[in-house]
């Protein structure tokens, strides 16, 4: 069975080259051709010996997820639905801005964590994505959005994707090994060459995996907090019952010394009448006073089958002001791509649910 080279980071490609009797430096050449030049046909890799290209063609493939659909929103946001086999599909979103282009990447087919306000979580869970399926999303976006012709060796010199956020479908840290290998490819100068500051992993709070990420590949960290106390967070983010807020904040504090940024980003979806009161804001400020952080307030993006509503603009403004007056940096995320269901919390894809989970009935205790 042919090996998909998209599954390999630099170390894996060195081992592969050694196994087929080639020098380790061939791994760097393969990385450049696959990830920088965007080549999937070994015959196009002109600085490899013809004999090596023929050998590779018999032993390996470069196989990407197939594109099912490709939509562009009125604001320029672009969403791909990608096939990952067996009737399953994942979604990837590119958000263009004046000074950067951010790609939101999925890590699982569905999600097992069942956060109450998330469309992906309502779809159930099928499986983890492979490295090839994760990094393939970046490959596809870069090659669809290329902004220059590149140099005379066919290596494209500039890409539209400048930032990556692991905030798509799934919980990245529940697919730890594959996600870390993909992260290492994103950071590799022979592949995508992104800085650690420009790659963000978002987690719902898997405490042991946060510690492992700190040890293995500390990139920017975002935590989906969404509540200022355990009673409310237990209902909105069920993993909190296993790793309550006190343990989560302690893990964040352990992470910071190795992080590329000197703060943790706390994401907080704004749900009308649920977690958006002045009292909630004050409680949140007190809760996080010992953790260097900034807040990203996310207006809830509705979807079919959910009873939550977006907080009123005035409620979001007041909530933001309370946090800012307490000395925090606070941003309110601009809703992008909601006309193509590409906004935060709306990604659903196509998931053959293996959990056989029925949609939970959530009763919020105030």
Q: Which residues are catalytic?
A: 91, 344
Q: What is the CA radius of gyration of the chain?
A: 21
Measured distance CA(252)–CA(205) in Å, rounded: 9
Return the bridge partners of 94, or none.
78, 103
316's enclosing H/E stretch is helix 313-325
Measured distance CA(68)–CA(66) in Å, rounded: 6
Which residues lie closer than 8 Å to 91 by C-beta, 6 or more apart?
79, 80, 81, 82, 106, 168, 169, 342, 347, 348, 349
Return the bridge partners of 91, or none.
81
Measured distance CA(26)–CA(34) in Å, rounded: 12
Six-digit token string for 351: 């998931």
Q: Could you tell me the strand order of the sheet in which 78-83 lies? A: 66-72, 78-83, 89-96, 101-104, 163-166, 199-203, 220-224, 264-270, 293-299, 329-332
For residues 148 and 157, the answer to whether their CB atoms sit within 8 Å is: yes
Measured distance CA(137)–CA(224) in Å, rounded: 23
């Amino acid at each position: 069975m042919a090996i998909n080279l998209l599954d390999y980071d630099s170390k894996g490609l060195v081992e592969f080259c050694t196994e087929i009797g080639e020098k380790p430096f061939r791994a760097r050449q393969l990385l450049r051709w696959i990830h920088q030049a965007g080549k999937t046909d070994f015959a196009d890799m002109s600085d490899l010996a013809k004999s090596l290209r023929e050998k590779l063609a018999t032993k390996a493939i470069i196989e990407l997820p197939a594109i099912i659909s490709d939509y562009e929103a009125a604001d320029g946001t672009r969403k791909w639905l990608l096939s990952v086999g067996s009737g399953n599909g994942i979604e990837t979103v590119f958000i263009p801005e004046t000074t950067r282009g951010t790609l939101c990447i999925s890590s699982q087919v569905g999600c097992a964590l069942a956060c109450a306000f998330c469309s992906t979580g309502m779809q159930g869970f099928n499986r983890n994505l492979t490295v090839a399926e994760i990094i393939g999303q970046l490959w596809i976006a870069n090659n669809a959005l290329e902004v220059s012709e590149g140099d005379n060796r066919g290596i494209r010199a500039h890409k539209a994707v400048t930032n990556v956020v692991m905030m798509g479908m799934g919980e990245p840290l529940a697919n730890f090994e594959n996600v870390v290998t993909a992260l290492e490819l994103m950071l590799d100068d022979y592949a995508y060459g992104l800085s650690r500051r420009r790659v963000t992993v978002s987690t719902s709070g898997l405490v042991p995996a946060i510690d492992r990420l700190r040890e293995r590949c500390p990139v920017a960290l975002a935590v989906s907090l969404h509540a200022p106390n355990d009673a409310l967070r237990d209902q909105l983010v069920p993993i909190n019952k296993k790793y309550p807020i006190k343990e989560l904040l302690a893990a964040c504090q352990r992470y910071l010394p190795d992080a590329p940024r000197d703060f943790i980003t706390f994401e907080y979806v704004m749900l009308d009448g649920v977690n958006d009161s002045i009292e909630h804001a004050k409680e949140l400020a007190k809760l996080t006073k010992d953790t260097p952080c900034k807040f990203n307030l996310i207006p809830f993006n509705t979807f079919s089958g959910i009873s939550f509503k977006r907080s009123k603009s005035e409620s979001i403004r007041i909530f933001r002001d309370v946090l800012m007056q307490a000395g925090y940096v606070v941003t309110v995320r601009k809703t992008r791509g909601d006309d193509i269901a590409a906004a935060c919390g709306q990604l659903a894809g196509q998931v053959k649910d293996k959990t056989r989970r029925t949609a939970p009935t959530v009763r919020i205790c105030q």
